[in-house]
Amino acid sequence: MLNEREFFKDRFTVDQLRQILGDRKPSEIFNWKSVSARKMGLAAQREKLSGDEDGLLQLMVEEPNLIKRPLIVVGGELVAGFDRASKPRLTELLGRNF
C-alpha cells in the first residue's frame, strides 16, 4: 500500500516527524544543501545545529524545504532523499532499480 503526502500543503507536526524518524536523528533527514538552508545560514552552522534535535525538528515543521525528499518508509525503515547513497537501499527494499 502506498501513502503519499504533499508535505508542503499538509505539513508535518514535530510529533509526526518524530514518529517517522523512529530512532534516527533529525539531522539525517535535514536538507543541509537546500536553498532554504543556505539562505537561512543554516548550512554554515551544521555542526552546531546537528546536536539540537528539537530545534531541527521545529525548523523542518516551519520550513518544509528543509526536509530531504522524498521520505520513503518501507517495512518500517526510513529512506530519506534520492541520492547515490539511498538508491541501492531503495532498490533492495522495493525490488526495482532506480
Range of the domain at 42: 14-70
Find where cell 521520505 sits: 71
- pLDDT tens for the chain, residues 1 to 98: 567 889 999 999 999 999 999 999 999 999 999 999 999 999 899 999 999 999 999 999 999 999 999 998 888 889 888 877 788 888 888 887 76
pLDDT at 92 (0 to 100): 86
Task: Round to whole Å and give the CA distance between 53 and 59.
Answer: 10
Is residue 2 assigned to a domain? Answer: no
Is residue 60 assigned to a domain? Answer: yes
pTM of the model: 0.84
Q: Report residue 41: phi and psi, to 5°.
A: 75, 20
Is residue 53 assigned to a domain? Answer: yes
- State the total domains in the chain: 1
Is residue 52 assigned to a domain? Answer: yes
Is residue 21 assigned to a domain? Answer: yes
pLDDT at 31 (0 to 100): 96
Is residue 42 assigned to a domain? Answer: yes
Is residue 86 assigned to a domain? Answer: no
What is the DSSP code string of 3-66?
----TTTSPPPHHHHHHHHTTS-GGGTB-TTSHHHHHTT-GGGHHHHHT-HHHHHHHHHH-GGG
pLDDT at 2 (0 to 100): 63
pLDDT at 1 (0 to 100): 57
**Coil, helix or strand at residue 73:** strand
Is residue 30 assigned to a domain? Answer: yes
